[in-house]
């Protein structure tokens, strides 16, 4: 059985999705922040990155107009959303907030 994007975001574990493009400067900064975040939140959250150039249908589904756009999903619902770079601390607090 293949696990799909929808299966992952329907989880009761928070899922942070970074919608990015390869040519975006701030997106490159987010890569480092997400690596650090993954270390600090461990298995408490799922962290995904989706390249909008390779998945243009996702941009229209979630009405993404700028990159990077970060969205936290839980149980299939959007719990938080922001366009632009966010710090490791900010993201960690948001994920912990949505654990319960």
How many Cα atoms sit within 13 Å of 6 on the Cβ side? 2
- Catalytic residue (choose from 27, 30, 70, 91): 27
27 catalytic? Reply is: yes
24 catalytic? Reply is: yes
Q: How far apart are CA 54 and CA 58, in angstroms?
A: 9
- Catalytic residue (choose from 5, 10, 24, 38): 24
Asked if residue 26 lies in contact with residue 87, where contact means CB atoms within 8 angstroms, the answer is no
| Active-site residue set | 24, 27
């Amino acid at each position: 059985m293949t696990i799909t994007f929808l299966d992952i975001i329907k989880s009761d574990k928070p899922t942070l999705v970074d919608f990015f493009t390869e040519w975006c400067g701030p997106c490159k900064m987010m890569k480092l922040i997400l690596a650090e975040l993954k270390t600090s939140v461990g298995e408490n959250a799922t962290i995904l990155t989706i390249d909008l150039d390779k998945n243009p249908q996702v941009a229209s589904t979630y009405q993404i107009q700028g990159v990077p756009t970060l969205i936290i999903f839980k149980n299939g619902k959007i719990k938080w959303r922001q366009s632009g770079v966010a710090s490791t601390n900010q993201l960690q607090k948001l994920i912990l907030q949505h654990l319960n």
